[in-house]
Structure 1
Amino acid sequence: MATLARIARRSFLVGAGALAAGLAVGTYVYKRDPANPLLKDLPEGAHTLNPYVRIDAAGITLITPRADLGQGAYSVQAALIAEELDVAWGQFQVEPGPPSAAYYNGTVMAEAFPIAATADTFMARTGRDAAGVMGKMLGLQITGGSSTVADAFDRLRVAGAVARQMLLAAAAEQTGIPVSQLKTAEGHVLLPDGRRLAYTALAAAAGRLKPASDVALKPAGEWKLLGKPMKRLDIVAKSTGTATYGIDLRMPGMVHATVCTNPRLGGGVLRINGTKASAAKGVVKVVPISGGVGVIANNTWRAFQAAKLLEIDWGPAPYPLTSAAMFEQASASFTEERRNSRAKDEGDVEGTLKAVDPARLLQAEYRVPYLAHAPLEPMNAVVQLKDGRLDIWTGTQIPRFVVAGAAAVSGIAEDNIHVHVQIMGGSFGRRLEDDYVRQAVELAKAYPGVPIKMTWTREEDMTHDFPRPLAVARARGAVNQGQVHAFDLGIAAPSVNASQLGRQGQPAMGPDMAIVAGAWDQPFSIPHYRVTGYRVPEMVPVSSWRSVGASGNGFLHECFLDELIHSAGADPLAERLRLCSHEPSRRVLKAVGELSDWGRPLPKGSGRGLAFTLSFGVPVAEVVEVTATPSGIRIDKAFIAAEVGQVLDPVNLEAQMSGGVLWGLSHAMFGELTYEDGMPQQTNFHTYQSLRLYQTPQVVTRALQTTGRIKGIGEPGVPPAAPALANAIFAATGQRIRELPLRKHVEFV
């Protein structure tokens, strides 16, 4: 049975390992918890027992601070608290809470460290602890990196258990009955004589008590909510169209706005003539903003129409103007000067490959394109600047950064800036940025006093995205006696970390492991094995996209590995199992083989492809089956197996696994953001194609729970999808495709 004391002992202690990593913090400073943000502006009659639980006469509110982008984050966070608080499902409300260091993410930073997920050495454990320390010390309130469940699993259960203990203590104080004789159920304390005291009636007394320093957590065998199929808290509203997203907000006296900025990102403005727009029906004001202009009107449509009347001369792009030129710059980056990392370097790769007969040396170049986030809900925010107070209603994954950015734009102290986080119609990483909020704040400065709803057009959203970066890979390898013997992979890509952190005024230190994520740390024991990352000079500003670097690197690594296995004459599953040195990953490979009935003969013209990627600490294997029809490639089935440590909601887990596969397949087939004259050519969904319902295969999932280390599954299902599909096409047709999207080389039906 876990206890708060045991969890606290996982805290980072300053030692030689940490000092060697260049990080030294005082244990006292680290262990000192941030203040409870709910105490500020606490409504009359409400009581808070910790940063995650607020109770008033109307009921119980659970704070779920990780953003809900459609992935069910609010529900799983609420379940973690509710399980230990002992309240029934639906017997509470949820709120995201205010921006606060109390809601720091201690898990997300570990992905930036050059620590393989399979490593369990003292230095690896110390490094992960150091990442957690940094998350807490910096107060990183971030939703990303599939870290929500892993980061919250202990913390939110403890929060629920501590609150429950305080309510029990309050009941004991009120009745004189020892806590040992009291029980709880469905939001009540149960007395031995059958009486029930509601949590709402005990909250005031409980709030005056000192929180318990050591609480017992329920063993999994006693869970009532966790591990069982849950009805997501948002499912009815979303199914009936009654859910309120940020884009749906309406407020008294509200005006509406949109913005136009240079589609050549960072290109600036040469001339603006807003005369015609200012005279358009319903327009309230035309406002110059950084890099462009905003239009405020009495409804969104009129703002959109007036924006079309703006006469603007945009400045030139500060980067290569075409996709071809950008790929050329990436190809030119395979130099020692541009080398960014080489965290995988085993055996003697160079000597081995030089000794190989040139006729037997396998060489290939692979490419992956820029990809747009393209969430269904375009960027938007409602802002109101009034009496020295700035309120912001928006969907965001980085609420504390939003506050800092708004303060920088407005000049208002952070204490007077209030961010109200909304549910989001998708993001896939786009709302890890705050550019749209800064624009809305500029409009509020120019037109204070009333709420302003700023909404991007779909075209503005597509052309002003910070995309997933392109990448070029150069691979060499050799086989020996029917086995993969040498594998050398170089990947050249722009730095996501430098681009993203730079927009927040933060420096990017050390190598960017996103350049090689999903490639350098794969659990294969190849005798001569090397993965090198090369940092391409900054071009189009880029950002995190669902599964970040692994999203493209899964394709680069697994397709070339498949080429080597084919060259060896080996079976793709059997050879990966032979090479795999990580038992949980071996189990995942075996599971997907069983799930797909690997080895079962397929009809002529059909093919089966396998791919494996370990990303975000989660081993995932996928098999895709295709048929080459006279009209093109048809995807028949997809199978996915993943090791998640522990399943908290089997229904949502299956949805996340299936969604990851389909998202990955869709972009592998069609996804591409191209540039001409420095501008994206895909401006809406008619030019940014995605998987259609009739093309969607049956997806079969299996989640393994053998390691006990709980992980998130929102992103890890994406990276293996593209290589599994490409490998399946090769198996069916003999055509080896080394470039995404695949539609450039085959038709899909």
Structure 2
Amino acid sequence: MSKLKTFTRRTFLIGSTAVAGGVAFGAYMYKRDPQNPLAASMKEDEAALTPYVKIDGEGITLITPRTDLGQGAYSMQAMLIAEELDVELDQIKVDPGLPDPAYYNTALSDEGAPFRPTDDSFAAESARSFVDAIMKFLGLQITGGSTSVPDAYEKLRHAGAVARETLKMAASQKSGIPVDQLNTANGQVQLPDGSALSYIQLAPFAATIEPVKDVTLRAPSEWRLLGKQVLRHDIVAKSTGTLNYGIDLEIEGMVHAAIKTNPRQGGIMNSYDDSEAEKMRGVQKVVPLENGVAIIADNTWRAFKAAEAVTFDWGPAPYPAEMDDHWQTLSDSFTPDLQDARTRDDGEIDNVFAEGPPDFEAEYRAPYVAHQPLEPVSAIAKITDDRADIWTGTQIPGFVRTNVAKATGLTEEQVFVHVTYVGGSFGHRLEDEFVKQAVEIAKSVKGTPVKLTYSREEDFAHDYPRQIAMARAKGKVKDGKVDSFDLSIAMPSVIESQMGRQGFPVPGPDPAILAGAWEQPYAIPNYRTTGYRAPALAPISSWRSVGASSNGFFHDCALDELIHAAGADPLEERIRLMWHEPSRKVLEAVGEMSNWGSDLGQNRGRGVAFCLSFGTAVAEVIEVTNTQDGIKIDNVYVAAEVGKVIDPINFDNLVKGGVVWGLGHAMNCQITYSDGMAQQSNFHEHEGMRLYQCPNIEVRALENGAKVRGIGEPPVPPAAPALANAIFAATGKRLREMPFNKHIDFV
């Protein structure tokens, strides 16, 4: 038989790239399974059947390397493995494992390739394959980009199936019964006579045979766990307050540390006076850092108080000190020499505008906003001459290991990163500056574990917030329809700022600058999106939905204004323009859910918004009432297309949480700088949605798409524009700048 049948697009691409670029790998290296990181540490009675399944005398442990940030990632990963392994969730333990290239994130390739997620052409799929190869060879183990489910969906089911079939093979060899006469259930291999061999019994023998890799995954019609309402693995511990987060962790003999560093991010420390701090109760040591100091004390509170007692002479900020200059920099960035990318240029838009002035033109603004998770960042570091142990919540354990090795002079094999549960992140834990600081402090007291905990104020002051951004839009209508739409967006590069702190150059355009805008599947005859890379301002980082968090607001509000100028119905015109069938069904579903077109009554308004981000199509309708005291948000309807729902309860919670997150920040939140310092220091100055303001939220999942998609971030981008559009419908007032409370009151 010809081998051409197995010569896949990915094989061709990787092999061709290797030859053309002289790279020392090819299709064979790409296809080769990564080394099992569990194998080396296995004892006689233990088996590591895949990098994700470990069985010993105490039970079954499933390795779940995507960090649980409160989004249910550990349970989701465990469900995918357990479904094929034929175990119940109460029979297993979950462990994030140590970082390893074997746990690289496959799904990041979709965001890294310069093609719309709706494009499944040969070129698009080939580009994704190439990026996937890069991810594999670099071993990038990252939690983010709403990729945990897309990355794990087949990979972890396959791991569970390999373990299952290997255990069956072990049972067959042990019992002499052919494999095809054996079944599995409840962590056992069942024999024809009704007896059974437990996986724990079989583990030592299974560890000696070659894993069975030729497996078939079960069809959704056969699923026991996936797609069903199951109890999340962590829900009892969270409900009873017994779950240990990173900030709760204690190591025997540890001391506590707090820091005070220049509140002007990246500014230097000229001098300091720690004479008062040194006298304070419980203080053991003052450790100078690059741009501040750390206090080591016998408990966290005393370390906090001593840090406050240190006086400093701080250097200036390496960015504009006042907000007006930040906005002016963005305004000045809409120039050809700062153009980052023009990713969409359909029709003859220049000719259209040459014929006459636009029917609509506006400018939009989105401010810096903080990540503000409930759990401030913390890390425990223990450094000795031949080993470093780090306990922390992180989305980038591989980067942490590399950076700790650099800071200590140890090899990466001597660095052990123990990932903990995280009490919220929203992108905050994609940074590891606090881990580097913990290591520097621990080096001064070698052999003693040091727990560094940020105060809430330090966490706010040294957060790397969401990017500041500005957009300019204009458009024309024709015969009561949208005909031309030109959207320009300026922002500093998130990727350049974030990856720069990891020492990685970022060549080429930053995809975040136009994310959530350029890939919208509307068939507007003349349609252009242009991104401008503003000069670096305050350091920034990924924030829940990254560029789409502001671009969804820009794009959809501008489109809504253009539809209004055409005199068309906001929902019907979006549906008419939508060429992508799964996205159109999302709009139709949310219209049905909200009974779009019905009379809401006096002083009420209804707004719709749509955004395709991270490959996931989400539409939201919001209903509001204009009261004498301000705007009351009554109802939110959300429809989302994810291809396949793994956990319906968690899906519902993630969507609702994303809506509340998006609305709260659109209503109330901003970070502003004065004298180079963030003016907001805690939740009272950066206030999310209050419980009494929370509307009724109704969610519907659609499963029409060909690919499995994530849902952690996509509900956020449509929330702000749907609210703004609803407020316009109720009041006639257009909101073009967040936070909205600068222009309108909420009740």
Trace 1:79-478 onto structure 2 (pairs within 5 A). 79-356=79-356, 358=357, 361-478=359-476
Displacement, 1:8?
11
Moved over 4 A (4+): 6-12, 15-25
Change (3 A) 1:693 1:8: farther
The whole-number CA distance in structure 2 between the counterparts of 1:460 and 1:303 is 13
Superposed, which structure 2 residues align to 1:693-708 within 5 Å?
693-708=691-706
Q: Which amino acid aligns with 2:380?
A: V
Which of 713, 716, 725 in structure 2 is aligned with 1:715?
713
| Larger mean Cα displacement after TM superposition, 107-116 or 613-622 | 107-116
Partner secondary structure for residue 308 of structure 1: helix
Distance 1:23 1:632, change over 3 A: farther
Counterpart for residue 528 of structure 1: 526
Deviates more, 1:534-543 or 1:110-119: 110-119
Output the CA distance in 2 between the equivalents of 1:110 and 1:56.
37
Question: Which residue of the partner structure matches residue 510 of structure 1?
Answer: 508
Please state how far the C-alpha of 1:40 moved relative to its aligned partner.
3.3
Deviation at 1:316, TM superposition (A): 0.2
Distance across 1 between alignment mates of 2:598 and 2:611: 23
Are the structure 2 counterparts of residues 23 and 639 from structure 1 closer, same or farther at C-alpha, using a change threshold of 3 Å?
farther
- Within 2, Cα distance between the matches of 1:423 and 1:259? 23
* Change in CA separation of 1:12 and 1:488 when aligned onto 2, cut-off 3 Å: farther
| 1:612-691 correspondence runs (5 A) | 612-691=610-689
Amino acid at match of 1:117: P
Gap runs ≥5 in structure 2 = none
Between 247-256 and 731-740, the greater mean CA deviation after superposition: 247-256
Confirm whether residue 725 of structure 1 aligns to residue 726 of structure 2.
no
Check conservation: 1:370, 1:470, Cα contact below 8 A: yes
2:36 match: 36
SS at 1:316 equivalent: coil
Distance 1:415 1:277, change over 3 A: same
Shift of the alpha carbon at 1:50? 1.1
Which aligned pairs between 1:24-63 and structure 2 lie closer than 5 A?
A: 26-42=26-42, 45-63=45-63
Amino acid at match of 1:664: G
Aligned residue in 1 for 2:568: 570
**8 Å Cα contact 1:80-1:156 kept in structure 2:** yes
Q: Distance in 2 between matches of 1:51 and 1:737?
A: 51
Tell me by how many angstroms 1:550 deviates: 0.3
SS at match of 1:266: coil
What is the CA RMSD across the aligned residues, in angstroms? 1.7
Aligned mates of 2:252, 2:224 — CA distance in 1: 43
Per-residue CA deviations over 1:513-540 (Å, capped at 9, x if unaligned) read: 1000000110001111000000010111
CA distance in 2, matches of 1:35, 1:465: 37
Normalising by structure 2, we get a TM-score of 0.98
Alignment of 1:692 with 2:682, yes or no, is: no
Q: How far, CA to CA, are the matches of 2:392 and 2:335 in structure 1?
A: 43
Query: Structure 1 residue 89: deviation in Å?
Result: 2.1
* CA distance in structure 2 between the partners assigned to 1:585 and 1:10 by the alignment: 27
Distance in 2 (CA, whole Å) between partners of 1:664 and 1:228 is 28
Q: How far apart are the structure 2 equivalents of 1:435 and 1:30?
A: 33
What is the CA–CA distance in structure 1 between the aligned matches of 2:12 and 2:494, rounded to whole Å? 31
SS state at 1:288 partner: strand
- 1:17–1:126 CA contact under 8 A, matched in 2: no
Does the 8 Å contact 2:359/2:565 carry over to 1?
A: no
CA contact (8 A) 1:17 1:123 kept: no
CA distance in 1, matches of 2:7, 2:93: 29
Equivalent residues of 2:13, 2:130 under 8 A apart: no
2:707, 2:109 → 1: CA distance?
17
Task: Give 2:104's aligned amino acid.
Answer: Y
1:321-354 alpha-carbon deviations (Å, 9 max, x no partner): 1121101001100000100000100011111012
Q: CA deviation at 1:18?
A: 5.9
CA offsets per residue over residues 171-195 of structure 1, 9 Å max, x none?
0111101101111100000011111
How far does the alpha carbon of each residue in 1:536-582 deviate from its partner, in whole angstroms, 9 at most, with x for none? 10111111000010000000000000000000000001100111110
Question: Is the Cα contact below 8 Å between 2:407 and 2:440 reproduced in 1?
Answer: yes
**Structure 2 letter corresponding to 1:61:** T
CA distance in 2, matches of 1:634, 1:178: 67
Contact 1:606 1:627 in 2 (8 A): yes
CA contact (8 A) 2:109 2:129 kept: no
| Conserved 8 A contact 1:106-1:134 | no
Letter in 1 for 2:704: T
The CA deviation at 1:10 is 7.4
Instruction: Report the CA distance shift for 1:482/1:473 in structure 2 as closer, same or farther (over 3 A).
Output: same
Write the mapping of 1:543-558 to structure 2, written as runs, cut at 5 A. Answer: 543-558=541-556
- What's the % identity of the aligned pairs? 56
| Structure 1 residues 146-175: Cα deviation after superposition (integer angstroms, max 9, x where no partner) | 000101111100100000111001101111
- State the AA in 2 paired with 1:497: I
What's the secondary structure of 2:34's corresponding residue? Answer: coil
Amino acid at match of 2:193: D
- Give SS of 2:546's match: coil
Whole-angstrom CA distance in 1 between matches of 2:18 and 2:670:
44
AA aligned opposite 1:171: A
1:414 and 1:321 mapped to 2: Cα distance? Answer: 39
Instruction: Map 1:473-512; keep pairs closer than 5 Å.
Output: 473-512=471-510
Give 3-state SS (helix, strand or coil) of 2:62's partner: strand
* 2:110–2:117 CA contact under 8 A, matched in 1: no
Contact 2:475/2:486 (<8 A) preserved: yes
Q: 1:17 to 1:517 in 2, by over 3 A?
A: farther
Extract unaligned runs of 5+ from structure 1: 1-5
Distance 1:405 1:138 in 2: 15
CA gap 1:179/1:11 in 2 versus in 1, 3 angstroms:
farther
Contact 2:10 2:130 in 1 (8 A): no
**1:3 alignment counterpart:** none
**Counterpart-to-counterpart distance in 2, 1:8 and 1:286:** 62
C-alpha spacing 1:681/1:109, structure 2 compared with 1 (3 Å): farther
Q: Give the AA of the match of 1:538.
A: A
CA contact under 8 A between 2:101 and 2:140: conserved in structure 1?
yes
Distance 1:184 1:21, change over 3 A: same
- What is the DSSP-based 3-state SS (H/G/I as helix, E as strand, rest coil) of the residue aligned with 1:154? helix
Hey, what's the Cα distance between the residues in 1 that align with 2:188 and 2:746?
A: 57
Decide whether the 8 Å contact of 2:62 with 2:78 is kept in 1.
yes
CA contact (8 A) 2:14 2:27 kept: no
* Other structure's SS at 1:686 match: helix
One-letter amino acid of the counterpart of residue 389, structure 1: R
Q: What is the identity, as a one-letter code, of the residue corresponding to 1:432?
A: L
- 1:94 partner SS: strand
8 A contact 2:464–2:539 mirrored in 1: yes
Deviations 1:242-300 (A, max 9, x none): 10000001122110001111111111111111121112110010001121110000000
- Is the CA contact 1:12–1:126 (under 8 Å) kept in the aligned structure 2? no
- AA partner of residue 106 (structure 1): T
2:351 is paired with a residue of what secondary structure? helix
**Correspondence 1:519 to 2:517:** yes
Measure how far apart 1:664 and its partner are: 0.5
How far residue 21 of structure 1 moved from its aligned partner, in angstroms, is 11
